[in-house]
């Protein structure tokens, strides 16, 4: 579009918004470059604000924009010129709305793909109408008027009306913000993206006028979908400090999943996996979905987002031929894995050649190019898939001391934690952390352990008047279990594994048997027509199972090699469980009927159901509500060390249950990593990697997460 035609068409819009031509043109030449492609089929507007003049600064919103931008370009095939970003001082209410109207509404055509993203504060605002109402609103950078009587917010309803007026059904918005600010918060290491509702100020008149104008238009309503950071109205959306960068939990989990997923994934599975990812980072946020489309959860992601055929963990974003160094973007690695992704990890090019990781800063890394020919032929933008994961040998639990603790309490806590320093690293709540040690708000003289999101870990609060050192000593066994869970979560690789398996979790019942969820390794099953599944209750994204149900896993070995299995898990009380493969040897004497632990092996092309024996099928869930997280790990070599660790803790008796409490969780988790490392070292070339690290090859293991709510 020519500059003159653009100015003529946007004139009426500027008048409604109260903008002058000169103010709009401060966006600069970037905007006109975005208009240079008249036949564009994919348009995006990305908005992120960290620095607010009148509110505490945020830290992850610009990273969110970068996460989305890299995803759109390298995974969705967006042209750089079709992505318009508004950040910091550019992200005023008037500029955001004008950009939506002209860059999206006025340019989009039928069947075009449109993405709109906002990261920043949200709030509730009085409409100044009679009778007075309160609505959800996004907070732009120019949040308040100078006289303080009005606030210059962008209503969520205004945004939705603008997006629903687009002449295409392939419209998706991502809102990584929230609207209700909690008056009191438990100890937390997150920043929350919600501001208190203004006590007296009302919505700016210009925004009311635009809303009234849009409500009066008879525009075609499309089936736009909006992914929201939370489905709970009163739950704040958080951002976390990772190693070297901050990001919104929702945006990071969302973009990471979309890097690795396949086109066969449904929106329901998408939401479930994003929610599970945030839970593992310490937040109970459950993402929300807003749309007028019928049964949106069953729709495929590709119906709205143009996923390319090749999924990936990273992409080449720059290279230096002289030094044989390539710069990588690793947005496709699970967030909890990226924290410990070590030197000498390897990523594979489509040609089969590998790049070797040499250093990492945040989401970017430098990798060695193996030879001079590859250095010349390697192209920026080529996708990378994980080949070898290297994890450090000494991984500890990171616990922050809440800033609300008094000085003497912090001194005593630091001293007490020093006694278990081989298991726990102490940090401040301003840094990356797994958990927070602090005081309960309602009873300040009681100490407990909190998730980064501020939720009290069940059964971790002590008695009134308990000394700090006693509290740390009391929690030490819990720290051991939590560190174990951290270790087995680091094995997760559903997206990158090349070990072909499919696993189904099902309820066993003669009356109403059903599949709860199904997972498979995406990369090795690219030709499969079946999709991952999950059964969820209305209004939730986490699969639900009735209390007292009898459950069973069904594992299909679709590879050409025998595979071995192990299962470990954690519930919301942070108690651990494991699958104990008890067997009675058929060669044993009649008098010797004590069971022993035996490897579970699944031959190529075969299916195994477990737990299962002659007398019992499956295992019985408890009769109380519980959140369960299981990690099912499969490998091409036996779990020799893992079974040995399991056997040392529980003397086998005839009444042992197949899924039972795990009392030496840390020892078992460390043995698990040793077994996976051994499976990978069957390949000679991997032996050249650092021997003091855990080295895991994607050809030799698969680790799938099953999280569900017992209700």
pLDDT at 417: 92
CA trace torsion 609, 615, 618, 619 (10° rounding): -150
Distance CA 241, CA 695 (A): 27
Distance of CA 437 to the CA centre of its chain: 24
Strand 154-155 to 150-151 pairing? unpaired
Q: What is the pLDDT of residues 276-325, one digit of tens each?
A: 999 999 998 989 998 887 788 888 888 888 887 688 999 999 988 778 89
192 has pLDDT over 80: yes
Strand 533-534 to 514-520 pairing? antiparallel
% helix / strand / coil in the chain, to the nearest 5? Answer: 25, 30, 45
421 has pLDDT over 80: no
pLDDT at 12: 53
Identify the CA nearest to 606 among candidates 648, 578, 644, 564: 564
Of 52-61, 128-137, 530-539, which one has max mean pLDDT?
Answer: 52-61
What are the residues whose beta carbons fall under 8 Å from the beta carbon of 619, sequence distance 6 or more?
Answer: 550, 551, 552, 611, 657, 658, 659
Q: Which residue has the tokens 């989009």?
A: 108
Distance CA 282, CA 483 (A): 14
Average pLDDT over residues 50-74: 96
Max CA-CA distance within the chain? 95
User: What's the count of helices (H) and strands (E) in the chain, helices before strands?
Assistant: 15, 40
Bridge partners of 385, per DSSP, are 348
Average pLDDT over residues 152-178: 93
414 has pLDDT over 90: yes
Confidence of residue 149 (pLDDT cuts 50, 70, 90): confident
552's tokens? 């069973």
CA trace torsion 158, 300, 308, 361 (10° rounding): 70
pTM score: 0.90
Say what percent of the chain tops pLDDT 90: 53
Distance of CA 133 to the CA centre of its chain: 35
pLDDT at 219: 67
Q: Which residue has the tokens 């069940």?
A: 458
- Exposed e or buried b for every residue in 63-100, given b needs 16+ CB within 10 A? bbbbbbbbbbbbbbebbeebbbbbbeebbbbbbbbbbb
pLDDT at 362: 92
Distance CA 153, CA 127 (A): 11
Distance CA 283, CA 189 (A): 10
pLDDT at 6: 38
Confidence of residue 539 (pLDDT cuts 50, 70, 90): low
Average pLDDT over residues 241-247: 90
pLDDT at 540: 61
Query: What is the DSSP annotation of 601-639?
Result: EE-TT-EEEESB-SS-BSEEPPSS-EEEEEEEEEESS--
Q: What is the pLDDT of residues 611-626, one digit of tens each?
A: 876 556 778 888 788 8
Q: At what angle do helices 267-280 and 249-260 cross, to 10 degrees?
A: 130
Distance CA 656, CA 499 (A): 31
What's the full length of the chain, in residues? 711
Distance CA 234, CA 700 (A): 44
Average the pLDDT over each of 22-36, 95-109, 658-672 and give the range with the smallest value: 22-36
Region at 279 (left for phi over 0; alpha for psi -120 to 50; beta for the rest): alpha
Distance CA 125, CA 421 (A): 48
221 has pLDDT over 80: no
pLDDT at 313: 95
Distance CA 356, CA 368 (A): 5
Q: What is the pLDDT of residues 619-664, one digit of tens each?
A: 888 878 888 999 999 999 999 999 999 888 655 444 567 888 898 9
Of 179-183, 373-377, 387-391, which one has max mean pLDDT?
Answer: 387-391
Peptide bond into 366 cis (omega under 30): no
Region at 28 (left for phi over 0; alpha for psi -120 to 50; beta for the rest): left
Kindly list the structural domains of the chain, giving each domain's residue range(s) and its CATH number in brackets, ordered by start: 3-303 (3.40.50.1460), 314-389 (2.40.30.20), 397-480 (3.40.50), 501-710 (no CATH)
Q: Is 66 helix (H, G, I), strand (E, B) or coil?
A: helix
Average pLDDT over residues 657-684: 86
Average pLDDT over residues 405-416: 93
Please give the DSSP secondary-structure letter assigned to residue 219.
Answer: P
What are the residues whose beta carbons fall under 8 Å from the beta carbon of 184, sequence distance 6 or more?
Answer: 441
Average the pLDDT over each of 90-94, 658-662, 689-693 and give the range with the smallest value: 689-693
pLDDT at 1: 36
pLDDT at 596: 76
Average pLDDT over residues 517-532: 65
Confidence of residue 67 (pLDDT cuts 50, 70, 90): very high
Centre a 10 Å sphere on the Cβ of residue 515 and count the other Cβ atoms it contains.
14
Q: What is the mean pLDDT of the chain?
A: 85
What are the residues whose beta carbons fall under 8 Å from the beta carbon of 275, sequence distance 6 or more?
Answer: 285, 286, 287, 541, 542
Confidence of residue 34 (pLDDT cuts 50, 70, 90): very low
pLDDT at 648: 82
228 has pLDDT over 90: yes
Identify the CA nearest to 119 among candidates 207, 60, 162, 31: 60
Average the pLDDT over each of 57-66, 85-94, 424-433, 590-599 and give the range with the smallest value: 590-599
Confidence of residue 31 (pLDDT cuts 50, 70, 90): very low
Backbone angles phi, psi at 2, to 5 degrees: -75, 155
Confidence of residue 48 (pLDDT cuts 50, 70, 90): very high
Distance of CA 115 to the CA centre of its chain: 19
Region at 97 (left for phi over 0; alpha for psi -120 to 50; beta for the rest): alpha
pLDDT at 226: 95
Backbone angles phi, psi at 574, to 5 degrees: 60, 35
Backbone angles phi, psi at 83, to 5 degrees: -110, 115
Confidence of residue 531 (pLDDT cuts 50, 70, 90): very low
Centre a 10 Å sphere on the Cβ of residue 529 and count the other Cβ atoms it contains.
6
pLDDT at 17: 60
pLDDT at 684: 42
**CB of 26 closer than 8 Å to CB of 113:** no
pLDDT at 220: 65
């Amino acid at each position: 579009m020519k500059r003159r035609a653009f100015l003529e068409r946007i004139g009426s819009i500027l008048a409604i918004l109260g903008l002058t031509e000169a103010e709009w043109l401060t966006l600069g030449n970037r905007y006109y470059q975005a208009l240079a492609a008249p036949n564009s089929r994919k348009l995006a507007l990305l908005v992120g604000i960290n620095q607010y003049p009148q509110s505490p600064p945020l830290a992850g919103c610009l990273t969110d924009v970068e996460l989305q931008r890299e995803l759109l370009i390298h995974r969705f095939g967006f042209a750089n010129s079709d992505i318009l970003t508004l950040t910091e001082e550019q992200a005023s209410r008037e500029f955001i709305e004008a950009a939506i109207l002209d860059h999206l509404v006025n340019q989009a055509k039928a069947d075009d793909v449109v993405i709109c993203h906002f990261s920043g504060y949200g709030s509730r605002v009085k409409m100044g109408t009679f009778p007075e109402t309160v609505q959800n609103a996004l907070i732009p950078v120019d949040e308040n008027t100078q006289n303080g009587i009005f606030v210059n917010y962008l209503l969520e309803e205004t945004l939705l009306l603008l997006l629903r007026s687009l002449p295409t059904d392939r419209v998706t918005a991502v809102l990584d913000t929230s609207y209700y600010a909690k008056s009191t918060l438990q100890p937390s290491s997150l920043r929350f993206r919600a501001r208190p509702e203004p006590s007296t100020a009302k919505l700016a008149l210009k925004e009311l006028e635009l809303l009234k104008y849009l409500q009066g238009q008879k525009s075609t309503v499309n089936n736009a979908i909006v992914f929201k950071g939370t489905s709970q109205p009163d739950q704040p959306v958080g951002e976390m400090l990772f190693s070297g960068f901050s990001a919104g939990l929702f945006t990071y989990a969302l973009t990471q999943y979309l890097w690795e997923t396949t086109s066969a994934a449904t929106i329901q599975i998408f939401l479930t996996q994003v929610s599970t990812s945030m839970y593992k980072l310490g937040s109970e946020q459950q993402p929300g979905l807003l749309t007028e489309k019928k049964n949106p959860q069953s729709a495929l992601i590709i119906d709205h987002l143009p996923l390319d055929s090749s999924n990936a963990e990273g992409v080449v974003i720059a290279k230096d031929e002289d030094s044989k160094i390539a710069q990588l973007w690793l947005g496709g690695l699970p967030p909890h894995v990226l924290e410990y992704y070590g030197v000498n990890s390897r990523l594979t090019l489509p040609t089969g050649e590998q790049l070797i990781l040499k250093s990492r800063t945040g989401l970017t890394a430098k990798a060695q190019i193996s030879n001079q020919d590859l250095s010349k032929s390697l192209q920026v933008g080529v996708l990378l898939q994980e080949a070898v994961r290297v994890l450090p040998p000494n991984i500890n639990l990171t616990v922050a001391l809440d800033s609300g603790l008094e000085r003497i309490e912090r001194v005593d806590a630091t001293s007490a934690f020093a006694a278990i320093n081989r298991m726990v690293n102490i940090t401040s709540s301003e840094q990356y952390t797994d958990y927070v040690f602090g005081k309960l708000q309602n009873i300040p003289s009681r100490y407990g352990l909190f998730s980064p999101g501020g939720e009290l870990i069940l059964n971790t609060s002590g008695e009134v008047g308990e000394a700090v050192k006693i509290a740390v000593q009391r929690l030490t066994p819990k720290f051991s279990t939590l560190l174990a869970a951290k270790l087995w979560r680091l094995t997760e690789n559903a997206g990158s594994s090349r070990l072909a398996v499919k696993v189904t979790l099902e309820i066993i019942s003669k009356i109403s048997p059903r599949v709860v969820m199904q997972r498979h390794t995406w990369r090795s099953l690219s030709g499969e027509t079946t999709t991952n599944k999950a059964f969820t209750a209305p209004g939730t994204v986490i699969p639900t199972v009735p209390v007292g149900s009898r459950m069973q896993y069904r594992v299909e070995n679709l590879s050409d090699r025998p595979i071995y299995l192990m299962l470990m898990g954690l519930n919301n009380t942070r108690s651990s469980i494991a699958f104990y493969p008890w067997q009675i040897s058929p060669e044993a004497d009649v008098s010797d009927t004590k069971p022993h632990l035996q490897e579970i092996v699944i031959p190529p092309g075969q299916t195994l159901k477990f737990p299962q024996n002659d007398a019992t099928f499956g295992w019985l869930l408890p009769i109380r509500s519980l959140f369960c997280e299981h990690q099912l790990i499969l490998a091409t070599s036996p779990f020799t060390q893992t079974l040995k660790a399991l056997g040392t803790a529980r003397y086998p008796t005839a009444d042992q249950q197949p899924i039972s409490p795990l009392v030496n969780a840390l020892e078992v988790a460390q043995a698990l990593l040793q077994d996976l490392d051994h499976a990978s070292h069957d390949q000679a070339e991997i032996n050249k990697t650092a021997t003091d690290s855990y080295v895991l090859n994607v050809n030799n293991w698969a680790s799938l997460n099953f999280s569900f709510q017992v209700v």
